[in-house]
Structure 1
Amino acid sequence: MREMLTGGELDVLTGDYLAELTMLILGRDRLKDPGAGYARTFLRQLEECLGLARERGVRIVANAGGLNPAGLADAVRALADRLGVPVRVAHVEGDDVADRHPGSLAAHAYLGGFGIAACLREGADVVVTGRVTDAALVTGPAAAHFGWRPGDHDRLAGAVVAGHVLECGAQATGGNYAFFDAASATRPGFPLAELHEDGSCVITKHPGTGGLVDVGTVTAQLLYETAGARYPGPDVTARLDTVRLTQDGPDRVRIDGVRGEAPPPDLKVGVNRLGGFRNEVVFVLTGLDVEAKAALVGRQMDDALAAS
């Protein structure tokens, strides 16, 4: 967070804290403490950086609220009071659908960005959410800034693509790129997107940070966790087969031409349950006769599991 705030100009700093496994972890935290259920690491980062963000006029949007966005918003307010940093804090809720899934540890619909946009339009400096899509952290601020409405499908689709490229951090700056010289990417910088009113953007990074932004690195992340030409979400269905990538200078890739369609009628829901035990064992087999060694381990495991 400090690197992003001090490395160059920003309007909005976004943070994606919620993997699907994280929701399970936060659910177990909440079983122990009903006031828990949010990402505590976010608060630790804010303790160091909230004043800096305020000084630089950077607004912060994060889904670190997890299962308890209202609780995190209160904790941020308490932290701001203790630090003497005057900020307006808002939260987005409405994703919790556990009442429709009896017996679940957590059940949450993936919301879009317009709740975030409403908070920013009302003057929030910090917005925390529960379960929203990763891209909603970008569509929300873009919709607030440019005045987009739900029917602006092409513009929203462009922001979804930008959000998808940014969502996994340094994966877009070489960390998810098989052809990038790893020696020059010991510590890749984090990507940022320069968004435009028409939905186009330029993906880049702060000057002097490691890694690389080129058409190859952006393509690798663009295709990550996708399953076809249509990329559906709660704000819009982005047509990935319309994306145009152009090198726009060193560490700058322009994304334009993205077309959008109406979002699906239903939202995706993630449901977490306690289902027993999970374990993983890794066998490292080295040296000569590795096939024979693997066969031996297979027989040993078969024997051990048959007896259990």
Structure 2
Amino acid sequence: MTTARPLALDPDVIRVGNCSGFYGDRHSAVRDMLDGGDLDVLTGDYLAELTMLILARDRAKNPAGGYAKTFLSQMRHTLASAYAKNVQIVVNAGGMNPAGLAAELRTLADELGVPTTVAHVEGDDLTGRAPELGWGRPLAANAYLGAWGVVECLRAGADIVVTGRITDASLAVAPAAAHFGWARDDFDAIAGAMVAGHVIECSTQATGGNFSAFTEITDLSRPGFPIAEIRRDGSSVITKHPGTGGAVTVDTVTAQLLYEIQTARYAGPDATARFDSITVDSQGPDRVEITNVRGEAPPPQLKVSLNELGGFRNEVQFLLVGRNIAEKAALTRRQLESWLKVQPTELEWHLVRSDQPDADTEQLASASLTCVVRDAAPETVGRAFSGTAVEMALASYPGFFLADPPRDASPYGVFTAGYIDADQVQHEAVLDDGRRIPIPPSPTTRVLDDVPEPEIPDLQTPSRTHMIELGSVVLGRSGDKGPDANIGLWVRSDAQWAWMVNTLTPNRIRELLPETADLPIERVLLPNLRAVNFVVKGLLGRGVAYGARFDPQAKGLAEWLLARRLSIPASIND
């Protein structure tokens, strides 16, 4: 039996850092975090819904692939340092092949002469069972596992733990649970660690990256990566290494808390965290404390990420300059649609009027017209489509030119969510010596239900108002959840909160964001954070890999909303 090295010297606090928020994040982050200051555990999130599709296609081409190759190259330069500093590493970089990545890491450790033990977690990959479970034949079907497989690996002494699709927050829950010896039903503590994990999982978004009030941060040249100091009771302090860029403030932490959430119940396989209970307070420069997180039992089912090949797509972008933009766009549509010998199953047009009257440059006098096509047959939307657009060059609107040369068809994916009873998933920890430890589901579960909306404060009729941008008062962040988009908004005073919750209703959002006019919008109030979250259903179609929307992941949706002008009481912005 391997003798486990201690995860942290402090029995009451474990310092968990993050080095990755997506597959493609800063390559130097592992070294930066190891060299920048004290750490107990380093986590990395490499997976997203789109990433699973990419890795599934990689594995289909090469059965030995299917994992995040960048993590292996990062380890080549940092494995010895991590071992010498007793920093355990927990990452989901295994993607569709955690066993394959674990084997490569052992080979690398032998090559470097570092006595590193590597364990991995299996059970999330349900692709082979998809037909019997009624999901058809997707390229990838992965259940979101929880922390307890990683916990067993760490308790057995693993220096590196590689997983496939576990929830992002579980990467931080696992080392805390292993270090403090939490039981499966310590739901308050687990939920607190889930919240800390949610804050740090997207790397520098917690330290000023993608922050709507970014002009308030002195140094954003190279934000540092976040650290969660998780305590025995599940409360935490979010911080970063000294001397690194960016900032950790109540607002940067709140921004990440609201990122890609849905209801006041943040459900995972380990617990359900009540986001309406969270308290966030400043504890000094670059130190923000998160306390009072209430936890509940997790739901009885696990979410499953289903990625399938939806077909093939192509697009061509026409540039329209000067006068008669609408007429030029109409002519282009008529010509292209009539010239195509085979009509694609789907054909979309998007006209963006960025042209200005009496413009000083040609680019400012231009608009763009994009045609997006999709079909099951690649030949229908391949060169036959883009070549037809080129053939129009001398026979169409005056000043005809394209933004890009003609391209061939490319495959696109479709994401859907499935669900499976937790006891139907064979979750296992696989230790360095090959032993397997079965991980049972949570013995206690709770079906999710709605949280009653809190009381809305009264709002007095203001004596003076003025028309200003919403972002003069409100901060925001938005993101994607499959076909849906979320917009998290928050303010800094009670008066602003009273105004916001009385003013920003789903119908008002539809007025301010006309693209959402015909879509269902759900609103969740979080008074402790002076925040409101909107979930716009169906804005992103069938997911990021499918969509042709200008902003397919809704990353800029909040920024658009904050730039809209409306009547705001002068008193709350004085």
TM-score, normalised to structure 2, is 0.51
Are 1:227 and 2:262 matched, yes or no?
yes
Aligned pairs (5 A) from 1:143-292:
143-181=177-215, 184-279=219-314
Are 1:28 and 2:60 matched, yes or no?
no
Q: 2:141 aligns with which of 90, 103, 107?
A: 107
Residues 176 and 220 in structure 1, CA contact (< 8 A), matched pair in contact too: no
Are 1:3 and 2:32 matched, yes or no?
yes
Deviations 1:33-63 (A, max 9, x none): 1111111111000000000101111000000
- Deviation, 1:284, is 7.7
Q: Which has the higher helix share?
A: 1
| Letter paired with 2:54 | I
Deviates most, 183-192 or 259-268: 183-192
| Letter paired with 2:281 | T
Distance 1:295 1:142 in 2: 62
Distance change >3 Å, CA 33–CA 222, structure 1 → 2 = same
Residues 176 and 221 in structure 1, CA contact (< 8 A), matched pair in contact too: no
Distance change >3 Å, CA 117–CA 179, structure 1 → 2 = same
Deviations 1:265-304 (A, max 9, x none): 1000001111112446667889x77xx5366346524642
Distance 2:151 2:292 in 1: 24
| Letter paired with 2:172 | V
Deviates most, 77-86 or 28-37: 28-37
Residues 285 and 294 in structure 1, CA contact (< 8 A), matched pair in contact too: no
1:125 maps to which residue?
Answer: 159
Distance change >3 Å, CA 179–CA 87, structure 1 → 2 = same
- SS of 1:119's equivalent in the other structure is helix
- SS of 1:260's equivalent in the other structure is strand
Deviates most, 93-102 or 215-224: 93-102
- SS of 2:302's equivalent in the other structure is coil
Distance 1:79 1:55 in 2: 16
Residues 59 and 66 in structure 2, CA contact (< 8 A), matched pair in contact too: yes
Deviations 1:202-249 (A, max 9, x none): 000000110111000100110000012111111011000000000000
- Deviation, 1:184, is 2.4
Distance 1:212 1:298 in 2: 49
Identity across the alignment (%): 61
- Deviation, 1:22, is 1.0
Deviations 1:22-41 (A, max 9, x none): 11111111111111111111
Unaligned runs of 5+ in 1: none
Distance change >3 Å, CA 101–CA 215, structure 1 → 2 = same
Tell me the matched-pair count.
Answer: 305
Q: CA RMSD in A?
A: 1.8
2:332 maps to which residue?
Answer: 300
Distance 2:293 2:319 in 1: 45
Distance 1:128 1:298 in 2: 54
2:84 maps to which residue?
Answer: 55
1:98 maps to which residue?
Answer: 127
| Letter paired with 1:225 | E
Distance change >3 Å, CA 298–CA 220, structure 1 → 2 = farther
Distance change >3 Å, CA 101–CA 7, structure 1 → 2 = same
Distance 2:312 2:264 in 1: 37
Distance 2:43 2:123 in 1: 20
1:76 maps to which residue?
Answer: 105
Residues 195 and 202 in structure 1, CA contact (< 8 A), matched pair in contact too: yes
| Letter paired with 2:91 | A
- SS of 2:206's equivalent in the other structure is helix
Residues 67 and 98 in structure 2, CA contact (< 8 A), matched pair in contact too: yes
Deviates most, 172-181 or 251-260: 172-181
2:73 maps to which residue?
Answer: 44
- Deviation, 1:183, is 6.6
TM-score, normalised to structure 1, is 0.94
Structure 1 or 2, whichever has the larger Rg, is 2
Distance 1:225 1:188 in 2: 21
Distance change >3 Å, CA 202–CA 302, structure 1 → 2 = farther
Are 1:18 and 2:50 matched, yes or no?
no
1:88 maps to which residue?
Answer: 117
- Deviation, 1:99, is 2.6
Distance 1:220 1:138 in 2: 19
Q: Which has the higher strand share?
A: 2
| Letter paired with 1:83 | L
Distance 1:216 1:284 in 2: 40
Distance change >3 Å, CA 217–CA 88, structure 1 → 2 = same
Q: Which structure 1 residue ranges, 4+ long, deviate > 3 Å from structure 2?
A: 278-286, 292-299, 305-308
Distance 2:162 2:327 in 1: 52
Distance change >3 Å, CA 305–CA 147, structure 1 → 2 = farther
